[in-house]
Amino acid sequence: MSSGEDDLIARYFRPVATAPGALGLVDDAAVLQPAGDDIVVTADAIVAGVHFLPDDPPDTVARKALRVNLSDLAAKGATPAGFVLTLALREVSESWLAPFARALGDDAVHFDCPLLGGDTVSTPGPLTVSITAFGRVPPGRMVRRSTAKPGDHVMVSGSIGDAVLGLAILKGASSGAGEDARAALADRYRVPQPRVTLALAVRDHASAAMDVSDGLMGDLAKLCAASGVSAAIEAAAVPLSPSARGWLQRDSAAIGMLVSGGDDYEILCTVPDHRLAAFEAAAEETGTSVSRIGRIVSGKAPPKLLDARQQEIALARLSYSHF
Amino acid sequence: MSSGEDDLIARYFRPVATAPGALGLVDDAAVLQPAGDDIVVTADAIVAGVHFLPDDPPDTVARKALRVNLSDLAAKGATPAGFVLTLALREVSESWLAPFARALGDDAVHFDCPLLGGDTVSTPGPLTVSITAFGRVPPGRMVRRSTAKPGDHVMVSGSIGDAVLGLAILKGASSGAGEDARAALADRYRVPQPRVTLALAVRDHASAAMDVSDGLMGDLAKLCAASGVSAAIEAAAVPLSPSARGWLQRDSAAIGMLVSGGDDYEILCTVPDHRLAAFEAAAEETGTSVSRIGRIVSGKAPPKLLDARQQEIALARLSYSHF
């Protein structure tokens, strides 16, 4: 009796929809029981040929689709509560869907963010994976973009620029990097590492936060604009992986690409001076590195990237834009 | 400083994102404050050329995208709480986006379902509008598909089959119907009328419910399968508009198309005998008609459509499937 769409859902996605509120994916809707929390809602879609490469492996596409949303939740100080998946498919291929669903299920378990429901539609266009994810925060505690203050430290997690180098490598750039480094950078583009473990440190200590998805300097510019402030960033303090550092040694102009390329999925946040030690201690407990890269300053100017002599480094662009 | 995507959001969607939890669409996420309710979550996407015609007017595309989700919420007994929009666009066209956003805003106000956030991405494929909508029910009160019992009345709101006739007309079918009737049927395909006002009657009196989106008999088959029951439906009791009735008089075989065509967006629900009078009275107060079309029976067989002599009417297919 089932339609093809129901068969597809039953075969591939029901096994990973283990939360009680998902109702085994046999209903039209799912239930979220907030239990006193605010629900933080975020939506991010990825399109083949735009956000991932058409021949990327299905498991990395699944992980990227979920993780870009988990990154948003973490930056808002929220713990994952679940997600819904809308999949626009050109065709139903067992060899693509099986590893996609399996990886999605693995990540859902790993990040404790269960699949609650969704929709599957056919499209003559590129494969598109849209996820709306939900997180929990105590009432009124979501960390915003718009609340940074002059004097706050600008902090960023992990390392910046690896994903854009990975994309360059996947598109054929010769980097001079060794095979292992090239694979690690490509992996960083394909499979973000959302900083879910930093969510509580951000919630407890940051004055403002967002994730870095479109490029560090461009996303910082958005945070500054929303907060009505500016910022001064020390280029030398921007955390780089050994691979990115090696790339920069071979091509010093690459700093612009590193700080304006997308897909880092690190947390960018501002922390008041009196919270700095507590934030750094809380972050250290999670094992995720955080770096002080500059300060929020008053003014409306775009944030500046400064070299060792405090001269501004001109950037051709600040971030990736779809349009 | 803003990217093109931010400009697009600011220009077209910020004016319609009036809920406090939307944070003016300047943040990465929105906040839903459940205030003790369960949050019902539903997701439905519509794709140009699949769910709507590529040259459908932008205002009807916006209304359809939101309303198919509102229909799901109503069928679950939930009152609207808000939605997030993921828009995959081939290009940014002022003449398309302006009426799209205006109509979306009008419907958001009309149905008291505010825009909370979303994502806008570029695609080389067809325009795709994905919406995840949220509703509220008191804890534990979401009406499910899986709880129909033998003996329950099968009820459906409004009228069935108009949308599939409208689609046939838009695709060039000659119907013998007059110009006004043809326009009304086409409008029924393009702009569903979600039965939001029936939500409380469904929540208070229905044993199980879902909306009719893929065809009455196919959706009933899903409800029956989820509940472990079957059903007997009287073809003569299926509510038809005067236009559909006229069509059927000219082509008696059209009954199959009417009960298996999609896009009705009516509420299909089951109501125990002792709740029937109260359900009908509650529905009447809302001004939305509901019709008794048959009964739930025990068994696992697909639901049967019966003619006036209680003979089964064979159907070539029960519903629309994407795959």
A:165-194 residues touching chain B, CB 8 A cutoff: none
DSSP state of A34: -
pLDDT the model gives residue A2:
40
Whether A145 has a pLDDT exceeding 90, the answer reads yes
User: What residues of chain A lie within 8 A of the CB of B319, using their CB?
Assistant: 3
CA distance A147 to chain B (A): 11
- Beta carbons of B189 and B63 less than 8 angstroms apart: no
Name the band, by pLDDT with cuts 50, 70 and 90, for residue A28.
Answer: confident
pLDDT the model gives residue A3:
54
Q: Measured between alpha carbons, how far is A140 from B20 in angstroms, rounded to an integer? A: 12
pLDDT the model gives residue B2:
40
Least CB-CB distance to A33: which of B38, B78, B89? B38
Percent of chain A with pLDDT over 90: 71
Lookup result for tokens 């809308």: A86
Query: Average pLDDT for residues A27-31, to the nearest whole number?
Result: 88
The 10 Å Cβ neighbour count of residue B304 is 18
Q: Measured between alpha carbons, how far is A270 from A223 in angstroms, rounded to an integer? A: 10
- pTM (two decimals): 0.90
Is B29's CB within 8 Å of A73's CB?
yes
Q: Measured between alpha carbons, how far is A23 from A116 in angstroms, rounded to an integer? A: 8
The 10 Å Cβ neighbour count of residue A92 is 17
Is A43's CB within 8 Å of B73's CB?
no
Residues A186-237 pLDDT 10s: 999 999 999 999 999 999 999 999 999 999 999 999 999 999 999 999 999 9
**Which candidate in B3, B28, B73, B223 is best for mutational testing of the A interface (most A CBs within 10 A)?**
B28
User: What residues of chain B lie within 8 A of the CB of A45, using their CB?
Assistant: 86, 88, 119, 121, 130
Name the residue ranges covered by the structural domains of chain A.
Answer: 4-137, 153-306
- Beta carbons of A131 and A69 less than 8 angstroms apart: yes
Six-digit token pair at B303?
């639901």
Least CB-CB distance to A124: which of B119, B125, B211? B125
CATH class of the structural domain B153-306: alpha beta
Q: How far is CA A187 from CA A63, A184, A246, in A?
A: 11, 5, 17
Whether A79 has a pLDDT exceeding 70, the answer reads yes
pLDDT the model gives residue A175:
67
Q: Do domains B4-137 and B153-306 have the same CATH topology?
A: no
pLDDT the model gives residue A323:
52
User: What residues of chain A lie within 8 A of the CB of B128, using their CB?
Assistant: 88, 121, 123, 125, 128
Is the pLDDT higher at A157 or at B250?
Answer: A157
Q: Measured between alpha carbons, how far is B182 from B173 in angstroms, rounded to an integer? A: 10
Query: Average pLDDT for residues B142-170, to the nearest whole number?
Result: 95
Is B31's CB within 8 Å of A51's CB?
no
DSSP state of B258: H
Is B121's CB within 8 Å of A45's CB?
yes
**Which candidate in A132, A213, A222, A269 is best for mutational testing of the B interface (most B CBs within 10 A)?**
A132
Six-digit token pair at B268?
């299909």
Name the band, by pLDDT with cuts 50, 70 and 90, for residue A147.
Answer: very high
Name the band, by pLDDT with cuts 50, 70 and 90, for residue A1.
Answer: very low
What is the interface pTM, i.e. ipTM, of the complex? 0.87
User: What residues of chain B lie within 8 A of the CB of A318, using their CB?
Assistant: 1
CATH topology classification for A4-137? 60s Ribosomal Protein L30; Chain: A; (3.30.1330)
**Which candidate in A7, A26, A130, A217 is best for mutational testing of the B interface (most B CBs within 10 A)?**
A130
